[in-house]
Amino acid sequence: MTRMKYSKAVKLAILALYKDGHQSVADITAKFSVDIGTIRDWKRRYEVHGEDGLEEALSWKRYPKIQYIQYGGFGKMD
């Protein structure tokens, strides 16, 4: 299966539907062909980094192990 790429606008629209709760999660995942885990990841990145967190990463970021441990391995580093 190929990896789907979603624009920031589409991600924001999906997150809005997810947050509003007017559609079931099953309906959202079927309509946009996106996994619930992906939506939860977008939600977490949006909460931590705002709209910038939804931008497509152009490269992998690597951090020294001590920094990773200090920040708990979560998306707080930039």
Classify residue 76: in a domain, yes or no. Answer: no
In this prediction, residue 7 carries a pLDDT of 92
Classify residue 48: in a domain, yes or no. Answer: yes
Owning domain of residue 48: 8-56
Number of domains observed in the structure of the chain: 1
Q: pLDDT tens-digit profile of 49-68?
A: 899 889 876 666 666 777 66
In this prediction, residue 59 carries a pLDDT of 65
Give the global pTM: 0.67
Q: pLDDT tens-digit profile of 1-49?
A: 566 789 999 999 999 999 998 889 999 999 999 999 999 999 999 998 8
77 pLDDT exceeds 60? no
Instruction: Give the single-character DSSP code of 15.
Output: H
Confidence bin at 69 (pLDDT 50/70/90): confident
**Distances in Å between the alpha carbon of 56 and those of 10, 32, 42, 51, 77?**
12, 18, 11, 11, 16
Classify residue 20: in a domain, yes or no. Answer: yes
